[in-house]
Amino acid sequence: MQEFYKKSLLVLIALLAVDALLAVLFIFLSQPTYTLSPTLRDGVRWEAVTTADGDQGGTSTVRLRASGADKLAFDYKLTRKAPYPFAGARFVAKDAKGSLATVDLSKYDTITFLARCSPADPMVFGLTIFDDRISRPGEFLTYRSPVTFFSCNEQGVPVSLDMRRMTIPGWWFYMMKLDLASQGYKLDKVTVLAFGSSSQTPFNIDSRVEISNITLRGHDYRYIAALVVILLAGWILFGVWFFRTHARTLAASLNYRLKKDLPLVAYRQLTVAPYRDEEKASVLKFIATNYTNPELDLESVVAGTGANRNKVNEVLKTELGMTFTSYLNKLRLTEAARLLTEKSAATVAEIAYSVGYANVSYFNRLFKEEYGCTPKTFRTLAPPQAPPAEPVPTAPAPPKKVENG
């Protein structure tokens, strides 16, 4: 059984290692990320451009300082001349020919970035999304443009925005003659991601903005579901293998124990041969023929044989390598094992009483310690044994010395 448990431990460790690797892989796959690459990727590149209120007759200015896949830095100054002053920078999706493109970002729900600006003030993040029903290609005012706000200061503010829960301004619905309740939008045809001033941005002040670590993040729960299924399947298979192999190994172990123990200590095979030391022979024979007596103890052996306590202990230790208690339990448990395999009609309690145990619970505990399973399980797993032949009326050889357990 020790080999089985060692093998099981190795399999368990391997299973845990594989599970850990799968968990890391599937959790990684379940959290897809996306960056706004300025180089062509999947037929689309993101071009950083500035935007201001010039088309309204405004004089706000913007200068792009730097841009990249995860960075956008610009300076701007907001003036009051336009009806709706605005200044900022944005990423515009372009195809390989440089024309406007749309990108399906529906598997991403969050955008994260670090926002630094001087002076500190709230800013706007917005999307420009083509709507097949109402949008006209290239006319951004006809696109759905949900926006939200974020904080920004000189030290840098980590920002995480839910792109699915932004708000489309009310003026756009009036302009497009749409119901104000139709706030819904999809992220399947995104053209622009924009960062810019808000209604609280101060006028006529030079402002510096740096948006870095721009990353779109999603959650694909199909990978988590697949991971759960795979892990459950793996543990179920391990459980089936463990219990089946354990049953086979235990059965083989019990069969070996039966073959080893029954001829050695079953009472019919323990008729003690003559010894030169009659006192020794008397001790062994008395125990072998009286072990089924629940009252049998060391004192009764002393009284029944006339040997003193030291002599009894010496005989058992020398001849069998056991103490009185361990030898008595060995005899009783081995006989119980034989009866369990030969007498299927007898109950466990009946067998316990017949071999000298007055307490069935105590018998069950000792039996499990000896054979590694309960008497009921032993009866199920151990191969049936043929009843032993009647002993030949000649004196057999002395019993071999056995180790305890």
Nearest CA among 310, 333, 314 for reference residue 322: 314
How do residues 285-332 score in pLDDT, each as one tens digit? 888 888 888 888 888 888 888 888 888 888 888 877 888 888 888 889
pLDDT, position 257:
61
Contact assessment for residue 84 and residue 53, using Cβ atoms and an 8 Å cutoff:
yes
78-124: per-residue pLDDT in tens?
A: 999 999 999 999 999 999 999 999 999 999 999 999 999 999 999 99
Of 306 and 46, more confident: 46
**What phi-psi label fits residue 199: left (phi over 0), alpha (psi between -120 and 50 degrees) or beta?**
alpha
Q: Is the pLDDT of residue 333 over 80?
A: yes
* Rounded Cα distance, 95 and 138, in Å: 14
| Confidence label for 342 from pLDDT (cuts 50, 70 and 90) | confident
Q: What does the domain layout of the chain look like in residue ranges?
A: 33-219
pLDDT band with cut points at 50, 70 and 90 for residue 385: low
Supply the pLDDT for residue 383.
Answer: 63
Mean pLDDT score, 213-235: 94
Catalogue the E-assigned strands of 302-368. none
How much is the average pLDDT of 388-397?
A: 44
Which pLDDT does position 286 carry in this prediction? 86
Peptide bond into 263 cis (omega under 30): no
pTM: 0.61
pLDDT of residue 370: 84
Least-confidence region, from 122-131, 190-199, 321-330, 380-389: 380-389
Averaged pLDDT for residues 326-341: 87
Contacts of 279 (CB under 8 A, 6+ apart): 305, 306, 307, 311, 315
Q: For tokens 């000649």, what's the residue? A: 394
Task: Note the pLDDT tens digit of each residue in 263-272.
Answer: 444 443 444 4
Exposure string over 86-97, b if 16+ CB within 10 A, otherwise e:
bbbbbbbbbeee
The pLDDT > 70 percentage for the chain reads 87
- With a cut of 70, say whether residue 153 has pLDDT above it: yes
Residue 255 to residues 242, 248, 250, 403, Cα–Cα distance (Å)? 20, 11, 8, 18
8 A C-beta contact, residue 107 and residue 32: yes
| Long-range residue pairs from 384-389, CB within 8 A, at least 24 positions apart, any chain | 384/341, 384/342, 385/258, 385/262, 385/338, 385/341, 385/342, 386/342, 387/342, 388/262, 388/266, 388/268, 388/269, 388/338
Strand partners, 114: 158, 212
33-219 homologous superfamily: Galactose-binding lectin (2.60.120.430)
**CB of 116 closer than 8 Å to CB of 81:** no
pLDDT exceeds 60 at position 38: yes
pLDDT band at 156 (very low <50, low <70, confident <90, very high): very high
On average, the pLDDT of the chain sits at 86
